[in-house]
Structure 1
């Protein structure tokens, strides 16, 4: 039943621990490779021009080897794929996709592609916790909740932002707020953040930003920045989806090699556009950053991100869009000319740009707000960040009809990510929480006297005949002769939800399904159409 339980909370903690340790291993591998190749993390300017050109091409070749080993049909990874699997498989993700995501994500992030680590974190977290629920033979609705817990743990372990992780799961992944899910998801996020803090230290990723110093006189510029970011997010999303549409029939070998070549060419000329976000942000924080150079960096960063994600490189999009937003904010600070292009103004507007661009691109205002607050470890940015987010989301949605990039990707790829409201409601209740267990199973040859005894016990009579099971519905009351109405029963696993039971009896609008545990002949209960109808009309199981 959709209620908070200590058992599910305990499993959320266990799943969160497993997910967090896998994310730590993932991030540790990336950091180790980058420190071997670069002076510091995401510091691609330390490489020679030729090395910057060749590194992404070599990375693309490595990605193709990994894809060949796991199988080309298992290359789907990242947040859109998790959204799809949550709807069609309750969050259970194939192992080969997960292997591809783990090793492919390491290679992509270490070789300079403009992708983020949060995409792999979401995928790996969902896979770990979903696998745990599947192996424990949990009901499907509980497995879905556990998978969402793994996502929260993965995000929290990736960025050390537990609050933003919880809101991200509710707003972007599940796209619903339900109290019975909130506690286990929150516990998983806490565990993920604790593991990260223990291994990598308690610092947040963007604590190096100066304390916010925006005044009311700057708020009109904040609104202008928000509107600009909304327009930019719309352009960014549309070009990305258009690229996805045009290359979907091109073989993966060509796509990866083209991505490596374009990344190498742009990285050769503008090395700060390579990597996730730190390289671009470190550049804009320099006092000698010129507006024209910032515009060039903004265009290059957008081009590299659209190329990498659009051509299928296994990485996330949130890290790069934070970098794009920061650069866009710095450009606005330069255009303002308030007190010159000083470091303080650049820092403030870079943070505002990160919040506004993430909110408009993902259509997730609350997740963007809390992410930037936690990443910068500054509460003072809440009011101006809310202003820039409001402006960017309004402009993006109202004037450009923009939607979440994840939803646009799923629509273009024709992958299911939502179901009718009726089915969504039924998915929240497992058949184990609704079935009737007062059943009597008898052979068709059973004497009438034994049947009368079962009737007196008020049991549900299930008859076995010719390899099939039938429910003998009793009609009539104590003043009438009792009669039987026979319905053929459909088998439903004990892991299923009311949605599967509903679709089994919906066409006849009557009858029932029987629930079995592990083997079809091990009948443990029955659910009638009238029970489901009662829930849909009255909100309770009769």
Structure 2
């Protein structure tokens, strides 16, 4: 038997671990540095043809038309180099890999995410930075876990830490990043995961702050002046945002389903033509969110132009994401919400005495639309609070968020756009409740190590070993033939009423030491008996066993009986 690594055994248990916290900090720093490189690359490319970042109005109309098409050709070319099957990326793909591959992301998908998203964002496609940041963060941290061959439950936790670091690095919003991971990605709150995720978010935010400063993108918003008398208008705004969120999600899914039968090349070219065409007419609709928000907050913009900008932004985002352009969704969502909120402020001013600052309703629109679209009210609330540096917006934002979520969810049956995307693309994201419960604990942490190994014993030796066997000891016979993998056979004396004791024999199934109880359960569920033996590197070297009875004990009592 090989010696067991105590660090890996510790990480296999669902407990708060300083070792995982250190790995989370290292992974968070590496993820943040990758996001910094990603942002610098985008800004560097943009400054080659723009006077200021995201200011596409400085380009000629013809340049705005051609720029997305040129970018689409580059995206397609790189996807061809890596293989078109590796073009899937972003938050839905990360969710899928978190469920079916313990958060491990293929390198080619990550390369497509970095290069493709960089080109798409630089060229003015209406996609966000946070999707690539999530993908890059998860890939970086999961690579770290895979390099050290950590237990799968620890790898999933480390991948979640990378996601939190990526979001915090992208927006400088560590609290919202933690809540986003818990509310949207993991959809559960576990203290032993919460703490390392928090550490990774802090490290990610501090790392990018050292490069870009402590200011948030929307820190320039003036202090809000909303009063209780504005709350009826905020409720109407929330209801309107709920309707828009339902329409946005529905048409995005329709585009995904309708375009699925076409190759990725015509899909991305179509998205480029639509983006270029709308950018030709409305340059401020291009890009992720900053340009559109800045334009909508100008005091002399007419309502008709804002409504046209809102419609163009929705169409560009739906078509870009629905047709497969690499990038995120949260950035455009914030932009759409801000424009919708600004439109609401103009309408509300006609019915309420005194002017309502457009920036106040813009912030409310960002919070409400993000909450209703992602079905993540708490993450949306904290995101806008951190982005604006204003704790005073909490109560009015809660009014808008609750109104939007109730309208969108109860009356229209709207769900998280990420879940809807996964279902539309046929990507698995759910595990049965039993398997989900067993995923939290690795076999290394609870396997039986008290083993007596007998290599091809004779009958007398076997009988003597059975007679001397204690209840907490497991007797295993090794059947090994030259050139073949060894078989490990478990011998279990069974005492039955009114009969002589007899011995059950079970051939143990090999299981990698990184596995969780979920993998062990799936191997044994059909027979509902026997067990698995755990190995580290060589399947011929046993380091412990896990029986089906022990797994059943964990399900019933919350602990194993080995």
For the aligned pair, the TM-score class normalised by the smaller chain equals over 0.9
**Which residue matches 1:292?**
304
Q: Say yes or no: does 1:460 pair with 2:479.
A: no
* Contact kept in structure 1, 2:162 and 2:200, CA below 8 Å: yes
Q: Say yes or no: does 1:426 pair with 2:438.
A: yes
Question: Residue 270 of structure 1: which of 259, 282, 289 is its match?
Answer: 282
Task: Report how far residue 518 of structure 1 moved.
Answer: 1.1
* Contact kept in structure 1, 2:469 and 2:475, CA below 8 Å: no
Deviation digits for residues 104-129 of structure 1 (CA, Å, limit 9, x no counterpart): 11101000000000000000000000
Q: Say yes or no: does 1:345 pair with 2:357.
A: yes
**Which residue matches 2:4?**
none
Deviation digits for residues 267-304 of structure 1 (CA, Å, limit 9, x no counterpart): 00011110000011010111111101110000000000
**Which residue matches 2:549?**
530
Task: Report how far residue 481 of structure 1 moved.
Answer: 6.1
How far apart in 2 are the matches of 1:541 and 1:385? 46
Which residues of structure 2 form unaligned runs of 5+?
Answer: 1-12
How far apart in 1 are the matches of 2:76 and 2:214? 36
Task: Report how far residue 444 of structure 1 moved.
Answer: 2.9
Q: Say yes or no: does 1:541 pair with 2:560.
A: yes
Matches within 5 A, 1:366-515: 366-449=378-461, 452-453=464-465, 456=468, 458=470, 459-465=473-479, 467-476=486-495, 483-515=502-534
Which has the higher mean CA deviation after the structures are superposed, 100-109 or 30-39? 30-39
* Contact kept in structure 2, 1:287 and 1:343, CA below 8 Å: no
Deviation digits for residues 364-402 of structure 1 (CA, Å, limit 9, x no counterpart): 000000000000010000000011000000000000000
Task: Report how far residue 453 of structure 1 moved.
Answer: 4.0
How far apart in 2 are the matches of 1:339 and 1:199? 45
Task: Report how far residue 443 of structure 1 moved.
Answer: 2.4
Q: Say yes or no: does 1:329 pair with 2:329.
A: no
Q: Say yes or no: does 1:45 pair with 2:57.
A: yes
How far apart in 1 are the matches of 2:404 and 2:352? 25
Task: Report how far residue 41 of structure 1 moved.
Answer: 1.6
**Which residue matches 1:319?**
331
How far apart in 2 are the matches of 1:323 and 1:272? 11
How far apart in 1 are the matches of 2:352 and 2:233? 15
SS at match of 1:441: strand
* Contact kept in structure 1, 2:79 and 2:86, CA below 8 Å: yes
Would the alpha carbon gap of residues 292 and 2 (structure 1) be closer, same or farther in structure 2, given more than 3 Å must change? Answer: same
SS at match of 2:533: strand
Q: Count residues with an aligned counterpart.
A: 542
How far apart in 2 are the matches of 1:464 and 1:120? 49
SS at match of 2:270: helix
* Contact kept in structure 2, 1:365 and 1:389, CA below 8 Å: yes
**Which residue matches 2:217?**
205
Deviation digits for residues 49-98 of structure 1 (CA, Å, limit 9, x no counterpart): 01111110111011011101111000000000000000000100000000
Task: Report how far residue 448 of structure 1 moved.
Answer: 2.3
Which residues of structure 1 form unaligned runs of 5+?
Answer: none
SS at match of 2:48: helix
Deviation digits for residues 241-280 of structure 1 (CA, Å, limit 9, x no counterpart): 0000000111111011111111000000011110000011
CA RMSD of aligned residues (A): 1.7
Matches within 5 A, 1:68-217: 68-217=80-229
Would the alpha carbon gap of residues 341 and 414 (structure 1) be closer, same or farther in structure 2, given more than 3 Å must change? Answer: farther
Question: Residue 60 of structure 1: which of 63, 72, 86 is its match?
Answer: 72
Task: Report how far residue 414 of structure 1 moved.
Answer: 1.2
* Contact kept in structure 1, 2:457 and 2:477, CA below 8 Å: no
Task: Report how far residue 341 of structure 1 moved.
Answer: 12
SS at match of 2:315: helix
